[in-house]
Amino acid sequence: MTATAPSYPTVAPIEPPALLLDGITKTYRSKAGAVDALRGVTYQFARGSFTAVMGPSGSGKSTLLQCAAGLDQPTNGTVVLNGAPLGGLSEVELTKLRRAEMGFVFQAYNLLPSLTVYDNVALPLRLTGRRPSRSDVHRVLEQVGLEGKAKRRPAELSGGQQQRVAIARALITKPSVFFADEPTGALDSGTSRQILGLLREATDRAGQTVVMVTHDPVAAAYAERVLFLSDGLLAGHLDRATPAQIAASMSDLER
Amino acid sequence: MFYLSRQTVSRHRSLYAGSFVALAVGVFLLGLAATATAATIAYKGPASSIISVMTLGGDGAEPRRMNVPMSGEDVSGLQVVLSMVGTISGFITIFVIASTFAFAVASRRRELGLLRLVGATPRRVRRMVLGEALVVAVAASLTGAVLAQLATPLLLRKASYSELAPVKLEPAAPWIPLAIAVAAGLLVAMLGARSAARRAGRVGPIDALRESALEGSRIGPVRIIFGLLFMAGAITMLTLIRPATGDGAVPLAMFAPMVMVIGLTLLAPLIVPLVGRLWALPLVAWTRVSGRLARSNVVAAPRRTASLAAPILAISAIAGSIVLSLSIAADTAGAQIRDAVKAPIVVTGGADVSRFPGVETVDAGLPLQLVRIDRDDAQLEDAEGIDPVMATRTRDLVALSGDLRGLTGNTVAVSKEMSGFENYRVGDEVPVTFLDRTSVKLRVVAIVKDAFGVNPSLLLPLDLVRAHAPKAVPDRQFVVPAANVDPAPLVTRLPNAQLATRWEADQADGVRKGNQLGLILLLGPAGFYSAIAIANTLLMGSLQRRREFVTSRLLGATPAQIRRMVLWESSLVGAVALSLGTAITITVGVLIRHAMTAGLIDVPLTVPWGVLLGIAGLCLILAIGSALAPTAYILRRSEPSAAVD
């Protein structure tokens, strides 16, 4: 394991990027008319990078995340994960790809309330048909600082602990890409730091790629690069920025 | 994956307790019908009262020996009722189970979406929901079967020596009937769970991220087409099958609403918001906020509303249709009897009144029973020996073909209805065996107009009946007074005499009373089951909403406001279901009346308002009560601050 600085430039020279968005548009049609949530986004997320996506409300950042994760179909354009395009995959193929390659952490912790912490974390492995090894589950629990809480149920944990269970659940399958949507949205600043630290660790230690949507400049500052999204288009980026710089750019966008 | 099913079943106890109760009671009723049927099959009448005949055979049917019970002491009446009870219970069970499972899936959209998000394939989610259904179904079916076995002796004691089974019934071996009931329960649960599972499989991973757990109300064109087909099918059934008597009308009044209920349920996501909006108009006008909230809850989640409304819709449509149709059948029977009797006086019993002064014509027909044999069956039939000269004077006895004057010797006149069923024509021979065990062939001399309640389907010469049933006495005689004799004073002088109008009214009342027992037997268990199902679904619905109630409290709603909202909401659900049930009842009633009264004029219409309104009221009270009770409980037990966790 190398503890060197994050790799630059963003485009890795030989191997394909972890995630490639090529000309993504997304139009929602409803009775009230069509709404263009994304109007052509092209970007490459390099392997092992930690990218924050920011933008005002309605800028399309959640839609971007959902299209990138194959949760939603883009209207136009292609999403390529580790060199393999997602378009044309069946729901089952997408599911299998998702559980092998992607991890999810959302604002609502999204744990199954009926399962214990242990079972929640082991669930993705069970779903792939593998029998989870006890030591694997306990190792990721330890990694997120929840040793000794394996038998609890989500309702008995604090918000920060629940979010760490969600991260442990995402870690256990060793996904190549983490998708995080406002992972610290409901947490206090101390707990937020721990959660962001865990995501940061995933990129630094295991070379996993993190794509995080947030509106919080402090959280975004944990990322190497902050992408700004406005009206469904990329509106610029900041590298290794401080929360103050990020906040300034945000208020420029919102003006 | 089964472990997940087990875990979720215990987590969603209130959802699955509902399905469990619904299915256990359904299997209990099915099991009871099955064990009782087994007891009737096991029943063997005394050997002396059985006539053994050979069927004719031909047209692919082999001649076979049949033992026909000679007296009315058989159990076929009970068997018919039991099979109908089984059918209604089975239908309502599958219906309720399907809607409870659909409801359970709808309430768990986010959780299912989450499973999809962490890597469950649609197939896996489908199998999980089916697995859960299986856990519940096995437990519920076994419980229902045990309860049925315990209750069987009780039912048989009640059924023995009743009008339907005037014999002593003993419990038979329970294994086969209970196995059938359990298998039916499992099958029903799996069928009911199938569509819910399919819908669960369609929940996308993105649903885990949506805040609102509401499901869209849009339904596919296939579903709309099927819904319309079911409606059209029921209406076609009602217009093509033209029942002439109550016996014919009951199965129709049972099946037609079932088919329509299925049709309406398929169309529910389209229809429910419309009807809901309509009923909500006065609510919104009268109340400040609770009515408005209730409207949006009912209209915005049509699938949920439809699930809650389903049991009310089913029972109100079926019970309403049967009650109304039987009343119409009784009205029709009254009119048919009225039209069939021309004589102004009816004497009950066999007293000879021909010698009384003022009496001109006495039509003293002799009733008897005989076994009529056809190609593949032999049945005990009611027949009457008549003097055609007398009978044509006192009754509306008209030969549609053939000639009644030929009714002498080994001959028979057949009613139009039976000639239609059995394809008898004038000149055909009908083999019969009298109860004195002589077999003869009767030549058909005439096909006569139907006169239900007055003439049986087979009319024989009086002398033939006297020869084979020497002890027969008339049970009623039609009397025509001499020309200028007033019937009213004459009635007072004759023994057991009544004016024909009075007798006709009594006969119609008798039909109505006879129907009542059948109604209670048919609708009693179904009503009991539906009551449980209605309470069950509404209870489930309210228990699921703890969070919503608590959040509303946080927003400043007083407990009374929330209770009012739930009150209006459950009233709305009830009103929507009952309007659809009423629409079905009216459709069935109008069409059945139209069919039954064809060719009759001046048929009175008795609408059993009391019973119909009673059914509606009971449904409404149950719905509101079982929605309010858990709401009050939740509100007492939780503080607004609970919304935060």
For A6-15, what is each residue's pLDDT tens digit? 445 555 456 6
Query: B119: distance to nearest CA of chain A, Å?
Result: 5
Q: How many domains does chain A have?
A: 1
Residue B57, Ramachandran bin (φ over 0: left; ψ between -120 and 50: alpha; else beta):
left
Chain A residues in contact with B114 by the CB 8 A cut-off are 110, 112
- The answer to whether the Cα torsion of A52, A57, A62, A67 is positive or negative is negative
Q: What is the pLDDT of residue B641?
A: 55
Instruction: Say how many CA atoms lie within 13 Å of B134 toward its Cβ.
Output: 12
Closest partner CB to A110 (pick from B8, B208, B645): B208
For residues A54-71, give the mean pLDDT.
87
Residues of chain A by 3-state class (helix, strand, coil), percent to 5: 35, 25, 40
Q: Mean of the per-residue pLDDT values for chain B?
A: 84
Judged by CB atoms closer than 8 Å, whether chains meet at B206 and A72 is answered as yes
**Encoded amino acid at B223, one letter:** R
Chain A residues in contact with B10 by the CB 8 A cut-off are 114
Question: Residue A157: which domain range?
Answer: 19-254
Judged by CB atoms closer than 8 Å, whether chains meet at B209 and A128 is answered as no
DSSP 8-state class, residue A11 = S
Judged by CB atoms closer than 8 Å, whether chains meet at A96 and B121 is answered as yes
Sort strands B476-481 and B366-373 into parallel, antiparallel or unpaired: unpaired
Chain A residues in contact with B121 by the CB 8 A cut-off are 91-92, 95-96
Question: Is the Cβ–Cβ distance between B336 and B600 less than 8 Å?
Answer: yes
Judged by CB atoms closer than 8 Å, whether chains meet at A124 and B8 is answered as no
Q: What is the pLDDT of residue B217?
A: 55
Kindly state whether residue A13 falls inside one of the protein's structural domains: no
| Separation CA B201–CA B208 (nearest Å) | 13
Quick one: tokens of B9? 């079943």
Nearest of B311, B331, B49, B310 to residue B167 by alpha carbon: B49
Q: Which residue's structure tokens are 């190792």?
A: A139
Q: What is the pLDDT of residue A157?
A: 87
Q: What is the pLDDT of residue A1?
A: 40
Neighbours of B159 (CB within 10 A): 22
Domain of A214, CATH number, reads 3.40.50.300
Q: What is the pLDDT of residue A5?
A: 46
Judged by CB atoms closer than 8 Å, whether chains meet at B1 and A126 is answered as yes
Any bridge partners for residue A28, and if so which?
A35
Nearest of B449, B500, B377 to residue B67 by alpha carbon: B377
Chain A residues in contact with B117 by the CB 8 A cut-off are 71, 98, 104, 110
Kindly state whether residue A38 falls inside one of the protein's structural domains: yes
What is the strand order of the sheet A33-45 is part of? A33-45, A19-30, A76-81, A84-85
**Sequence-ordered list of residues with C-beta below 8 angstroms from that of B636, at least 6 positions apart, any chain:** B559
Kindly state whether residue A12 falls inside one of the protein's structural domains: no
Closest partner CB to B122 (pick from A66, A92, A128): A92
Kindly state whether residue A139 falls inside one of the protein's structural domains: yes
Question: Is the Cβ–Cβ distance between B420 and B411 less than 8 Å?
Answer: no
For residues A179-197, give the mean pLDDT.
85
**Sequence-ordered list of residues with C-beta below 8 angstroms from that of B104, at least 6 positions apart, any chain:** B12, B15, B16, B18, B19, B196
Kindly state whether residue A185 falls inside one of the protein's structural domains: yes
Closest partner CB to B118 (pick from A62, A108, A127): A127
Mutation target among B14, B116, B118, B132 for the A interface, most CBs of A within 10 A: B118
Chain B residues in contact with A108 by the CB 8 A cut-off are 209
| Separation CA A191–CA A201 (nearest Å) | 15
Nearest of B143, B141, B147, B255 to residue B188 by alpha carbon: B141
Residue B12 contacts A, CB cutoff 8 Å: yes
Supply the angle between the helices B109-117 and B76-107 in degrees, to the nearest 10: 60
Q: What is the pLDDT of residue B74?
A: 64
Residue B83 contacts A, CB cutoff 8 Å: no
Angle at B33 between CA B30 and CA B37, to 5 degrees: 140
Query: B12: distance to nearest CA of chain A, Å?
Result: 8
**Sequence-ordered list of residues with C-beta below 8 angstroms from that of B517, at least 6 positions apart, any chain:** B163, B164
**Encoded amino acid at A181, one letter:** D
Sort strands B439-448 and B411-415 into parallel, antiparallel or unpaired: parallel
Kindly state whether residue A248 falls inside one of the protein's structural domains: yes
For residues A21-48, give the mean pLDDT.
87
Closest partner CB to B114 (pick from A91, A110, A155): A110
Judged by CB atoms closer than 8 Å, whether chains meet at B1 and A66 is answered as no
Give the helix ranges, DSSP H, for chain A. 61-68, 91-101, 117-127, 134-143, 159-171, 189-206, 217-220, 243-254
Chain B residues in contact with A113 by the CB 8 A cut-off are 11, 111
Averaged pLDDT in 10-residue chunks for chain B of 645 residues: 62 75 88 87 71 78 78 70 83 80 77 83 87 88 93 84 73 87 89 84 75 58 90 88 72 88 88 89 83 82 80 90 88 87 89 86 90 85 90 89 90 90 89 89 91 88 91 90 87 88 87 79 81 80 77 77 88 93 93 84 84 91 88 77 48
Instruction: Say how many CA atoms lie within 13 Å of B612 toward its Cβ.
Output: 22
Judged by CB atoms closer than 8 Å, whether chains meet at A169 and B116 is answered as no
Start-to-end C-alpha separation, chain B: 29
Nearest of A29, A199, A35 to residue A103 by alpha carbon: A199
* pLDDT, tens digit (0-9, with 9 covering 90-100), for B292-346: 888 888 887 777 788 788 888 988 999 999 899 888 888 888 888 888 898 999 9
| Separation CA A232–CA B134 (nearest Å) | 47
Q: What is the pLDDT of residue A3?
A: 44
Q: What value does the CA radius of gyration of chain B take, rounded to a whole number of Å? A: 30
Judged by CB atoms closer than 8 Å, whether chains meet at B206 and A96 is answered as no
Neighbours of B265 (CB within 10 A): 24
Sort strands A209-213 and A177-181 into parallel, antiparallel or unpaired: parallel
- C-alpha dihedral, A175 to A177 to A178 to A182, nearest 10°: -160
Chain A residues in contact with B204 by the CB 8 A cut-off are 71
Query: B227: distance to nearest CA of chain A, Å?
Result: 26
Angle at B572 between CA B567 and CA B576, to 5 degrees: 155
Distance of CA B467 to the CA centre of its chain: 43
Quick one: tokens of B284? 């919104």
* pLDDT, tens digit (0-9, with 9 covering 90-100), for A229-239: 998 899 889 99
Nearest of B463, B555, B577 to residue B99 by alpha carbon: B577
Question: Is the Cβ–Cβ distance between A122 and A151 less than 8 Å?
Answer: no
Kindly state whether residue A7 falls inside one of the protein's structural domains: no
Helix/strand/coil for B303: helix
Q: Which residue's structure tokens are 């959660």?
A: A195
DSSP 8-state class, residue B409 = S
Chain B residues in contact with A110 by the CB 8 A cut-off are 114, 117, 208
* pLDDT, tens digit (0-9, with 9 covering 90-100), for A14-26: 667 889 999 899 9
Judged by CB atoms closer than 8 Å, whether chains meet at B206 and A114 is answered as no
Angle at A138 between CA A134 and CA A144, to 5 degrees: 155
**Encoded amino acid at B583, one letter:** A
Residue B205 contacts A, CB cutoff 8 Å: yes
B7: closest chain A residue by CA: A114
